[in-house]
C-alpha cells in the first residue's frame, strides 16, 4: 500500500511553492513513499503519555530590552535584491488570486 500518491506530492509542492516536472513528481512520489514507509517503524513504539520534545534547552526564552540598536542602511538592505525600486524590493504585481493568507 502506498503511503503517499502523486496527488499528495503535487498538493505539498504547491504549498511549498515548488514546481515539479512530471518526471520529478514521479520520482519524488516514489522516494517519499519509501521514506515514509521506513518512518512507519515509529509505530512500533508506544508513545502514549510521552511529552513531545520540541527543544532540548530546558529554559525559558530570554527577553531583550526594548532598546533600538544598529539598523541596516537602506541601501544595504536592498543590496542583494534581484530587483528593487529606490529602497523598496520589487516583485511582479500581485494578482487577484494571490491574496495574502
Partner 1 sequence: MPSPLGEVARLREALTSGETTSSRLVDAALAAAEAVGEDLSVFTHLRHEAAREAAAAADARLSAGRARSVLDGLPIALKDNIVQAGEPAGCASRILEGYVSPFDATAVARLLEAGAIPIGRTNMDEFAMGSSTENSVHGPTRNPWDRDRSPGGSSGGSAAAVAADIVPLALGSDTGGSIRQPASLCGVVGMKPTYGRVSRWGLVAFASSLDQIGPFAHTAADCAVLLDAMSGHDAHDSTSLPEPPLQTAAGLNGDLSGRVIGLPREYYEAEGADASSLECVHAAVAALEGAGAKTVPVSLPHTRYAIAAYYLIANAEASSNLARFDGVRYGHRAAGASGLTDLYERSRSEGFGAEVKRRILLGTYVLSAGYYDAYYRRAQKLRTLLRRDFEAAFESCDVLVTPTTPEPAFRLGERADDPLTMYLSDVYTVSANLAGLPGVSIPCGLAGGGLAAGLPVGLQVLGPPLADAAVLEVADAYQRLTDHHQARPGGSR
Partner 2 sequence: MSFRPDYEVVIGLEVHVQLRTRTKLFSTAAVSYGDEPNHHTTPVCLALPGALPVLNGQAVELAVRAGIATNCEVHPRSIFARKNYFYPDLPKGYQISQFEEPLATGGWLDVEFEDEKGELTTKRVGITRIHMEEDAGKSLHDGSAVDSHIDLNRAGVPLIEIVSEPDMRSPAEAGAYLRKLRAILRTVEASDADMEKGQFRCDANVSLRRHGDTQLGTRTETKNVNSFRFVEAAIEAEVERQARCLDEGEEIRQATLGYDADADRLFVMRMKENADDYRYFPDPDLIPLVIEEARIEQIRAGLPELPDRRRARLADEHGLTAAEAAKLVASAALADFFESAVAAGAPARAAAHWLTREVAACLNERDLEIEATALVPDAFASLLELVETGRLTARSARELLPELLEGGGDPAALVSERGLEAVSDEGALEVLADEVLASNPKAIASYRDGDKKSLNFLMGQVMKKTQGKADPARVRQILAGKLDGS
Number of residues that bind partner 2 (CB under 8 A): 37
**Among candidates 27, 41, 33, 43, which has minimal Cα distance to 2?**
33
**Site mask, partner 2, residues 37-56, x = CB under 8 A?**
-----------------xx-
Shortest Cβ 6–partner 1 spacing (Å) = 12
β-bridge partners, 76: none
- Judging by beta carbons within 10 Å of its beta carbon (0-12, 13-18, 19+), is residue 84 exposed, middle or buried? middle
Interacting residue ranges for partner 2, rule: CB under 8 A: 15, 17, 54-55, 57, 59-72, 74, 77-78, 83, 85-94, 97, 99-101
Amino acid at each position: 500500500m502506498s503511503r503517499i500518491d502523486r496527488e499528495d506530492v503535487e498538493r505539498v509542492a504547491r504549498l511549498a511553492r515548488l514546481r515539479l516536472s512530471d518526471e520529478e513528481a514521479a520520482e519524488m512520489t516514489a522516494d517519499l513513499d519509501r521514506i515514509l514507509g521506513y518512518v512507519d517503524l515509529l509505530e512500533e513504539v508506544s508513545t502514549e503519555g510521552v511529552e513531545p520534545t520540541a527543544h532540548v534547552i530546558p529554559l525559558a526564552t530570554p527577553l531583550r530590552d526594548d532598546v533600538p540598536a544598529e539598523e541596516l542602511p537602506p541601501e544595504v538592505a536592498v543590496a542583494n535584491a534581484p530587483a528593487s525600486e529606490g529602497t523598496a524590493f520589487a516583485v511582479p504585481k500581485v494578482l487577484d488570486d494571490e491574496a495574502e493568507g
